[in-house]
Amino acid sequence: MKSYWVQLWIALAMVPLLPAQSYDFDFNNNGRRVCLAETQVDTDRGEVEIRLLDASDNAQFPTSIYRRPLGVSQPVWETVVLDLPPGTPSYLDRGLPRGQQWEYQLRRRNTWQFRGSSYDAIGYAAAANLVDRTEVQGRMILLVAADVPSAIPEAYAGLKRDLTADGWWVEELVVARASSWDSGAEVLSIRAAIQAIYDQAPADDKPRQLLILGHVPLPRCGAQPIPAPDLHAENRGARGCDAFYADLDGHFTDTLDYDPGNLVDPLLVNRPGDFKWDQDFLPSPVELAFGRVDFADLTDLTADEMSLLGNYLDRLSRYRRVAPGWDMGKRTAFFRGYDNSNDGAFRSLPSISSSAEVVQNYDGGNHPRWVSENGPFQLYLQNQFVPSIEAWRTHGMEATVFTSDQSYWGFGDLPQRQSVYSRIRALLGVESKCLVTWWTTTGLNIFHRAGLGMPLGEALLPIINHAVDRPTLEKPPQDFDSSEWWNRSHFTLYGDPTLRLYQVAPVGDLRIAAGTEAAVLNWSPSPDSNLRGYHVYRSDSEWGPFEKITTTLLTEPQYRDRDYRRGDWYLVKAVALQVTGSGHFFQPSLGQLIQGNFTVGTAAPLAEVELRVYPQPSRTWLTVETPASIRSLSLWTLDGRRVATWPEPPSHPVRLEVAAFPTGIYFLEVQLGEERTYRKIILE
């Protein structure tokens, strides 16, 4: 086990006007490898305040800042400012247009000595100015073992429906279940099938994600006498390598002979021509974000594989739908451990949560219990110990993502033989709120882009692809985090790589009816506190692809589609404004799905009959006037709570007493026949 960890309990005294932090950072010790930063965006002015969170600890080194645009091909760093004086608390960068996002690199020269050479402290931040993330996601590949759809048909269909409702066009690839953990030649045919899907996709809509579900044949890579992923020689050799499927143009070879003896398992022996690949480093940048959910051959858990998989998919759906008890909030947390993992927390967590929402666990001990008592969290970095399956069984894990650094437990490429190997797979089978795990194993420790609302798998791709000859990011080398640890072929995310950290509560009670030459959609408001409106999407198939048909956010929970054709499918999504340590962006909820199976008429439907609600604003009484018969009226708050119902009011016009309700904006739902319509109400 690693033995170089030193605990440093030195409180960080922040300069005035900067948000108070709830964790330690000592610039003059291990902090010299990191520039700790976050951003705050003025959306009206297009200004980005880059906050240097470690300013009060830096009395010696000037800071330089660089930026590059995100969302464009081959961006290059450009200089923002050189050599800010030591102790400078912030810098204002101007000119970020609405709808765009930047990535920042912060650098302090020659702060760190490693193996006789000087290196710079490096940090990252990002900034979004009202970036719109409500467009459809695009294509993804669902690679699934053939026994899964038949064993858990409802859960599997629900996954595909949720992925579709999240904006993905799912390309399904069903393959034979792996017959052993030594997959052999079948990995070639699977990779060829993935390549064919990618090649046949339009140039502007290539698949971006690969979700591996069930016991799909596992590729293996590694055949060189290089440092083992956790510096234990018995763990070298042919380790699991799902990146083989995701690296679509990488050249993998199978010519080396590697059997140094004393390997932890015979599966790690690599022979020429055995379909275990030679590469310990990825041969080219990985195109697809990837993740695996596989509960085969576990001894930590007693439930059978398909029960575990069905339960995971159910929890995944509850997260996406923000079911009761599943709002994971916007905080992150960590426990200090190995320095290279700490650095990952310092570089990434302020961008995800903002520094004021990063919590440090000072207690140690039973980590799941601490998280249960102090959470929930979007992400928890434990950074030192092998996770205890007993503690997880007892307390769960109240964090959407769990990541840690320590030996053995993070290898998920073996049948579990009463050991911690493959515990990383077992953790996702425990009844908890945790849906994604990854083993930092020194390399996967920069993921600040998750603070921009992008899927987790894509936020990790830059650090997965980072190599000496292909630098996507930059960090100073240190023990367990120098070039021999970067760009390794064993990097794996367990869980759904399409998952995003920022939840939005969906709409409710979606209905569709025929209107005059139009389909009329109505729904109950989303209860999300940051709600900004709604978007509607349409497809001729339940499985997409869907197209966004609203050009601006709807402010009321209804929509008329005059381009409706019988059989069209619709998604309705709530849209919330998310504010993080990376700026502002519009994030959609999971879509609610409905099909129109009628022909629109030419006579005016009830919902289009004249309807007057007055006075506006009102304080004591509202009058509802219409020649149609009113079945019921309901009053809804903006956050989606029904606060009153008046069934079958007998009088015309209808008078509603509203004096008892607090001042504010409401929606009045009016049910006319089988249709509903809404009017915005202001009570003052």
Going from the first residue of the chain to its last (684 residues), give the mean pLDDT of each consecutive group of 10, the final group possibly shorter. 31 32 75 93 98 93 96 84 97 97 96 92 97 96 98 98 98 98 96 98 96 98 91 94 97 97 96 97 97 98 97 98 97 90 91 95 93 97 92 97 91 94 97 96 89 97 93 87 91 97 96 89 94 97 96 94 95 98 98 93 54 88 86 81 83 86 88 77 88
Determine contact, residues 121/64, Cβ cutoff 8 Å. Answer: no
Q: Which residue has the tokens 């209804």?
A: 558
Determine contact, residues 480/488, Cβ cutoff 8 Å. Answer: no
Q: Facing residues of 407 across strands?
A: none
Cβ neighbour number for residue 304 with a 10 Å cutoff: 12
Question: Can you give the pLDDT at residue 605?
Answer: 47
Q: In a 3-state reduction of DSSP, which class is residue 99? A: coil
Question: Can you give the pLDDT at residue 29?
Answer: 76
Alpha helices in 337-414 (DSSP H): 339-353, 367-374, 389-395
Question: Can you give the pLDDT at residue 439?
Answer: 92
CB-facing half-sphere around the CA of 443: CA atoms within 13 A: 26
Question: Can you give the pLDDT at residue 611?
Answer: 82
Nearest to 586 by CA among 571, 576, 595, 574: 576
CB-facing half-sphere around the CA of 190: CA atoms within 13 A: 31
Question: Can you give the pLDDT at residue 9?
Answer: 29
Question: Can you give the pLDDT at residue 20?
Answer: 40
Alpha helices in 485-553 (DSSP H): none
Domains and CATH numbers, the chain: 1-131 (2.60.40.10), 133-502 (no CATH), 504-603 (2.60.40.10), 609-684 (2.60.40.1930)
What does the radius of gyration of the chain's CA atoms come to, in whole angstroms? 27
Q: Facing residues of 220 across strands?
A: 240
Q: Output b/e per residue, 658-683; b: 16+ Cβ within 10 A.
A: beeeeeeebbbbbbbeebbbbbebeb
Taking the model in full, what pTM does it have?
Answer: 0.89
Sheet of strand 47-52, all strands in order from the earlier edge strand to the far edge: 37-42, 47-52, 90-94
Determine contact, residues 525/681, Cβ cutoff 8 Å. Answer: no
Task: Write the single-letter amino acid at 117.
Answer: S
